[in-house]
């Protein structure tokens, strides 16, 4: 436990030091990332020890706040979330060391940035280790605010300010639900310590609390339709922050759901169904919206929605398995969801780091202005390629292993027999949904990788790009290697996950069987690892054979065959929009893409233009009208807000007197 | 590994190019020509292997590693799937997912290599390929899910083992519906008519062929051989399923299976001779239809098996 406290101490002390040091201090750009990386190490070690079989740790310190206590605990579930959080925070800090050079004003602004970055790291660790609801909320709020200020780092741009506000509103709407949830739980249990918070299962209050948790935590995680802040905030933030926010911060929402569901008694079947439906819907909406985007980071942000959906679908299957008493479905659903949480943390931060490197070198995030970067940025390109394969769930990367576990949970539901159709239907929906999501993700990432990194550059910025510094490509490469290692280490991972899932199940009042074939990591995933190894070995043998065969047998470089056209130009290449267009049109009803087209006219056409834009339909059709209505409603209260401070003080006094009178009466 | 398991893998690896020979011969017959010899695809592969490669100056290492890597993926899928239905204990739970995703990796590499050339034609083909496969994948996996439900097994070998003549009759018409769905997926995934015309000579209208316009020499041999292996794999899904009521196993099953594959090739040739290609906008609807068939099969299976 002392390791975790040490971690928190360095994070928060580092944050404080950054804000106290003189703004012009030369050390800040180095001290900032160093403290964040150093702070992450002890906590990461502690988490790995606990995951490796060490005993859970807890500590309680005195705190003079009513019903709050400074009690921290790291059980296996906390450790499973803390490990990726700290891993990614540290790597993104190193990456930021290189990335933040010459980014955003220097001086005070850099100091502020690193102060908030350290605060964000510390608060995420606090959130996953807090054992008291009040402490959890404090951590949650510090996390929301520090990430808000990080998103607003380049606040000179109007779009960044807009994104920041949307994020602030979304996080506080979510936090409001959590306040309500915790007061419900605390009122019934009489304490705000996690251990004592509970609602009687099967009651209407428990159902209400479930919905509160789904909305409150789901808005952080990015469930559809609560996802609207992600595609705004992730592109606006500096890329190291996007990597942390998208890779790990949104996972605290998943953590919250898993932490508080057990307080609500045995899960009725519709909870599992709700989570599954939300998950599949988020997956499909996320990947389709991603396909329609032109902004590389916005595309990645939508993929976070997709992957959060896959995680939620896994957890939903797990809950259904519990309600229907299908242990295999319960175990593999939770294990798949949790493993996908870890995997997504790795490959999504990898992708954001590579995208940040591209944006930094070419000064654009517009996919249709890029191209040919694999030649100019070979390391970044290879990293993005690895990340793309991993996020599409392709073997032999880590994404496949977690998706396979969720598929297996679905198959367990399908083959469960019994008189009820519910688990089988859930299995069919998951299998079809995951297959569609996977196919579309493949379309999206061949588009992202192919248009950005392959072909010829489509702009001067892309043509002039060069490889980034080692500060930036080394952390990304570490993540890329992690993708492959986690892919090959499936059996080991499942063995690590088994006690975590058993904890979650027993907290939900369900006991997994002591021994069963599906509980054995080597039995379930061993053949997959062997197949991966065989695939890699076979691929290498064939590549070697090709090398031998092609010796002195390839001619000099020629232009690409363009069907007899004299001089192929870069502007004639297929663009990201044209690549995605058939799919975007097919699913047009879900996307509402706006196209403006002026056709070439006359015998000697001069000008023609085409542009398309796909705004978030939920933002446009749901939230904007709703918030406009709210604004109209609240503007009526403007009469009492007039800027006269003496009257404001009078309000405060009046409120206090009223409270006192209420207390005395 | 028993002898028959090895024979099942080898038969696929050796006989796969023969399928396109049979298809082309069938088409020639319908067109009133004599057609190329059955073994022509082998001669083509041998010729390509002797040639030099020509590489566009735009391309990178992606373009160079893709063809043989695709071949490695398809071969891995062959090892995984070929003995299923012949050797009862082959494979593992969830191998059908790995099978589908190995082919996904092959597609990822093919499409990336196509975009690596920077050619708009190849981009066009790649764009269509990802659209068709995004729709074919759910149809395939939902079809397999239905079979898993009917047979109560989670591996390819288990599924074929668990389906017998009783399941064919007791599960309504679920299994025939899945079979039709598989056949549609086969035509789409292997770029056959009505989805794609492998014999067209207009780049604008092609799907698979246009993606590999710039590939040449031994790399093109790898692509061509990979494509015939893929046809064999998807064909084997359908043929094995059609053979399940026979109850054969081992060598007898292998012989029946190889015969079935030849019949399937003739069938594909007939489909190509008598139907026209669908317009590009219509093709997704047919694939969505295949998915709908799988769902319908699920409903029927659930209704009749209870």
For A83-109, what is the mean pLDDT? 85
pLDDT at A566: 61
Asked whether the predicted pLDDT for residue A279 surpasses 80, the reply is yes
Q: Comparing C-alpha atoms, which of A96, A51, A97 is closest to residue A74?
A: A51
| Mean pLDDT per 10-residue section of chain B, whose length is 306 residues | 90 95 95 93 95 90 96 96 88 94 96 92 92 95 95 93 88 91 95 84 78 91 96 95 89 94 96 89 91 94 80
Tell me whether residues A535 and B76 touch, CB distance under 8 A. yes
For A116-124, what is the mean pLDDT? 96
Q: Which of A59-73, A572-586, B267-281 has the lowest mean pLDDT?
A: A59-73
pLDDT at B79: 94
pTM of the full structure: 0.95
CA B24 – CA B32 distance, rounded (Å): 12
Which residues have CB under 8 Å from A139's CB, separation 6+? A123, A124, A126, A127, A130
CA A365 – CA B174 distance, rounded (Å): 49
Based on the number of CB atoms within 10 Å of its own CB, is A310 exposed (0-12), middle (13-18) or buried (19 or more)?
buried
Nearest CA in chain B to A558: B56
Share of chain A above pLDDT 90, in %: 71
Asked whether the predicted pLDDT for residue A105 surpasses 60, the reply is no
pLDDT at A567: 65
Per DSSP, chain A holds a count of helices (H) and strands (E) of 26, 4
pLDDT at B306: 60
User: A432 near B138, Cβ under 8 Å?
Assistant: yes
pLDDT at B181: 96
CA B125 – CA A503 distance, rounded (Å): 49
| Nearest-CA distance A415 → chain B (Å) | 5
Chain-centroid distance of CA A656 in Å reads 43
For A93-97, what is the mean pLDDT? 94
For A584-593, what is the mean pLDDT? 88
pLDDT at B201: 66
pLDDT at A440: 96
Share of chain A above pLDDT 70, in %: 98
Which residue in the block uniquely carries the two structure tokens 């359908």?
B238
What ipTM was predicted for this assembly?
A: 0.96
Q: Which of A34-38, A106-110, A277-281, A546-550 has the lowest mean pLDDT?
A: A106-110
A396 cis-preceded (ω within 30 degrees of 0): yes
pLDDT at B178: 96
- Does B262 contact chain A (CB < 8 Å)? no
User: A29 near A100, Cβ under 8 Å?
Assistant: yes
Q: Which residues of B touch A389 (CB under 8 A)?
A: 105, 108
Contacts 24+ apart (CB under 8 A), B297-300: B297/B143, B297/B146, B297/B173, B297/B174, B297/B175, B297/B177, B297/B178, B297/B181, B298/A424, B298/A428, B298/B142, B298/B145, B298/B146, B298/B149, B298/B174, B300/B171, B300/B172, B300/B173, B300/B174, B300/B177
A38 falls in which pLDDT band (50, 70, 90)?
Answer: very high
Q: Hey, what are B154's tokens? A: 């989670």
Instruction: Dump pLDDT digits (tens) for A542-561.
Output: 999 999 998 877 777 888 87
Dihedral angle sign, alpha carbons of residues A307, A310, A316, A319: negative
Which of B99, B107, B127, B178 should be substituted to probe chain A, the one whose Cβ sees the most A Cβ atoms within 10 Å?
A: B127
Asked whether the predicted pLDDT for residue A564 surpasses 70, the reply is no
Instruction: Dump pLDDT digits (tens) for A1-10.
Output: 789 999 999 9
pLDDT at B156: 94
| Nearest-CA distance B57 → chain A (Å) | 5
A532 falls in which pLDDT band (50, 70, 90)?
Answer: very high
Asked whether the predicted pLDDT for residue A104 surpasses 60, the reply is no
| Nearest-CA distance B141 → chain A (Å) | 6
For A278-286, what is the mean pLDDT? 96
Which residues have CB under 8 Å from B216's CB, separation 6+? B51, B52, B53, B54, B55
pLDDT at A608: 84
Nearest CA in chain B to A430: B142
For A615-641, what is the mean pLDDT? 89
- Does B105 contact chain A (CB < 8 Å)? yes
Which residues have CB under 8 Å from B193's CB, separation 6+? B187, B271, B272, B275, B276, B277
Q: What is the 3-state secondary structure (H, E, C) of B52-93?
A: CECCECCCCHHHHHHHHHHHHHHHHHHHHHCCCCCCCCCCCC
Which residue in the block uniquely carries the two structure tokens 């002591």?
A514
CA atoms within 13 A on the CB side of B23: 26
pLDDT at A655: 95
Q: Which residues of A touch B217 (CB under 8 A)?
A: 550, 553-554
A594 falls in which pLDDT band (50, 70, 90)?
Answer: confident
A596 falls in which pLDDT band (50, 70, 90)?
Answer: confident
Tell me whether residues A539 and B69 touch, CB distance under 8 A. yes
User: A135 near A143, Cβ under 8 Å?
Assistant: no
Strand, coil or helix: A61 = strand
Q: Write the DSSP symbol of residue A203.
A: S
Dihedral angle sign, alpha carbons of residues B83, B84, B90, B94: positive
Q: Tell me the C-alpha to C-alpha distance, in Å, between residue B183 and each of B9, B176, B188, B223.
A: 22, 11, 9, 22
> In chain B, where are the structural domains located?
3-305
Average pLDDT score over chain A: 91
Instruction: Dump pLDDT digits (tens) for A327-371.
Output: 999 999 999 999 999 999 999 999 999 999 999 999 999 999 999
Q: Which residues of A touch B46 (CB under 8 A)?
A: none
Tell me whether residues B141 and A442 touch, CB distance under 8 A. no
Tell me whether residues A407 and B97 touch, CB distance under 8 A. yes
pLDDT at A109: 85
- Does B181 contact chain A (CB < 8 Å)? no
User: A326 near A416, Cβ under 8 Å?
Assistant: yes
A452 falls in which pLDDT band (50, 70, 90)?
Answer: very high
Q: What are phi and psi of A60, to 5 degrees?
A: -130, 120
pLDDT at A62: 77
């Amino acid at each position: 436990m002392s390791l975790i406290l040490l971690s928190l101490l360095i994070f928060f002390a580092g944050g404080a030091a950054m804000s106290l040091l003189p703004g012009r201090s030369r050390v800040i750009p180095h001290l900032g990332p160093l403290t964040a990386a150093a702070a992450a190490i002890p906590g990461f070690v502690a988490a790995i020890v606990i995951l490796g079989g060490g005993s859970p740790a807890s500590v309680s310190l005195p705190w003079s706040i009513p019903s709050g206590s400074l009690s921290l605990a790291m059980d296996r579930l906390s450790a499973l979330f803390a490990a990726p959080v700290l891993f990614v925070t540290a790597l993104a800090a190193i990456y930021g060391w290189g990335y933040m050079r010459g980014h955003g004003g220097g001086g005070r602004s850099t100091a502020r940035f690193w102060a908030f970055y350290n605060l964000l790291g510390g608060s995420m660790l606090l959130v996953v280790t807090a054992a008291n609801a009040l402490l959890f909320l404090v951590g949650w709020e510090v996390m929301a605010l520090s990430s808000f200020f990080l998103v607003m780092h380049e606040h000179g741009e109007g779009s960044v300010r807009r994104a920041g506000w949307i994020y602030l509103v979304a996080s506080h709407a979510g936090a409001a639900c959590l306040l309500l949830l915790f007061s419900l739980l605390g009122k019934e249990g009489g304490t705000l310590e996690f251990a004592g918070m509970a609602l009687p299962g099967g009651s209407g209050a428990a159902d209400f609390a479930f919905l509160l948790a789904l909305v409150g935590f789901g808005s952080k995680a990015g469930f559809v339709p609560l996802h609207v802040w992600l595609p705004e905030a992730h592109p606006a933030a500096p890329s190291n922050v996007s990597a942390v926010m998208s890779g790990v911060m949104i996972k605290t929402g998943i953590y919250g759901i898993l932490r508080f569901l057990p307080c609500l008694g045995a899960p009725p079947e519709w909870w599992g169904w709700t989570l599954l439906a939300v998950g599949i819907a988020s997956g499909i909406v996320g990947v389709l919206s991603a396909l329609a985007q032109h902004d590389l980071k916005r595309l990645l942000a939508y993929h976070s929605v997709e992957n959060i959906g896959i995680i939620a679908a896994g957890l939903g299957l797990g809950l259904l398995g519990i309600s229907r008493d299908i242990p295999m479905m319960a175990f593999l659903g939770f294990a798949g969801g949790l493993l996908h949480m870890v995997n997504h943390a790795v490959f999504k931060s990898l992708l954001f780091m590579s995208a940040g490197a591209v944006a930094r070198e070419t000064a654009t995030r517009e996919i249709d202005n890029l191209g040919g970067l694999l030649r100019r940025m070979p390391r970044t390109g290879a990293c993005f390629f690895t990340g793309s394969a991993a996020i599409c769930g392709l073997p032999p990367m880590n994404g496949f292993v977690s998706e396979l576990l969720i598929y297996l949970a679905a198959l367990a539901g399908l083959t469960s027999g019994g008189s009820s159709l519910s688990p089988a239907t859930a299995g069919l929906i998951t299998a079809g949904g995951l297959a569609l999501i996977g196919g579309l993700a493949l379309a999206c990432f061949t588009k992202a990788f192919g248009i950005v990194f392959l072909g010829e550059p489509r702009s001067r910025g892309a043509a002039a790009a060069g490889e980034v510094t080692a500060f930036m490509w080394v952390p990304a490469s570490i993540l890329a290697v992690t993708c492959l290692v986690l892919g090959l280490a499936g059996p080991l991972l499942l063995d690590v996950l088994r006690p975590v899932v058993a904890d979650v199940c027993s907290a939900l009042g369900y006991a997994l069987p002591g021994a069963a074939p599906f509980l054995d990591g080597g039995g379930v995933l061993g053949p997959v690892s062997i197949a991966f190894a065989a695939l890699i070995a076979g691929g290498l043998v064939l590549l070697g054979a090709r090398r031998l065969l092609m010796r002195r047998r390839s001619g000099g470089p020629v232009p690409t065959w363009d069907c007899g056209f004299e001089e192929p130009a870069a502007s004639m290449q297929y663009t990201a929009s044209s690549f995605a267009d058939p799919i975007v049109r097919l699913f047009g009803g879900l996307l509402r893409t706006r196209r403006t087209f002026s056709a070439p006219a006359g015998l000697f056409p001069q000008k023609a233009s085409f542009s398309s834009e796909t705004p978030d339909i939920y933002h446009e059709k749901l939230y904007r009208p709703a918030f406009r209505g709210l604004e109209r409603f609240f503007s009526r209260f403007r009469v009492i807000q007039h800027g006269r401070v003496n009257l404001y003080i009078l309000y405060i006094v009046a409120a206090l007197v009223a409270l006192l009178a209420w207390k005395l009466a | 590994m028993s002898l028959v398991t090895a024979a099942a893998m080898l038969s696929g690896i050796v006989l796969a190019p023969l399928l396109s020979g049979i298809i082309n011969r069938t088409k020639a017959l319908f067109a009133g020509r004599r057609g190329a010899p059955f073994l022509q695809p082998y001669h083509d592969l041998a010729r390509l292997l002797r040639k030099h490669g020509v590489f566009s100056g735009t391309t990178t290492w992606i373009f160079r590693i893709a063809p043989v890597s695709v071949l490695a993926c398809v071969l891995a899928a062959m090892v995984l799937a070929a003995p299923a239905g012949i050797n009862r204990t082959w494979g593992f739970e969830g191998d059908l997912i790995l099978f589908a995703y190995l082919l996904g990796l092959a597609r990822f590499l093919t499409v990336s290599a196509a975009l690596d050339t920077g050619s708009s034609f190849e981009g066009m083909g790649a764009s269509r390929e990802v659209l068709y496969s995004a729709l074919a994948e759910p149809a395939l996996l939902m079809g397999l899910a239905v079979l898993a439900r009917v047979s109560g097994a989670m591996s390819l070998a288990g599924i074929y083992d668990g389906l017998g003549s009783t399941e064919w009759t007791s599960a309504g018409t679920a299994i025939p519906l899945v079979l039709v769905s598989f056949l549609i997926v086969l035509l789409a995934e292997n770029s056959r008519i009505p989805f794609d015309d492998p014999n067209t000579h207009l780049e604008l209208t092609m799907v698979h062929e246009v993606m590999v316009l710039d590939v040449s020499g031994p790399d093109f041999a790898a692509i061509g051989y990979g494509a015939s292996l893929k046809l064999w794999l998807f064909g084997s899904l359908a043929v094995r399923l059609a053979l399940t009521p026979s109850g054969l196993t081992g060598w007898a099953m292998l012989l029946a299976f190889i015969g079935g594959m030849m019949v399937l090739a003739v069938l594909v040739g007939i489909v190509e001779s008598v139907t026209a290609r669908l317009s590009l906008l219509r093709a997704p609807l047919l694939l969505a239809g295949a998915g709908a068939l799988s769902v319908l099969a699920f409903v029927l299976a659930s209704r009749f098996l209870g």
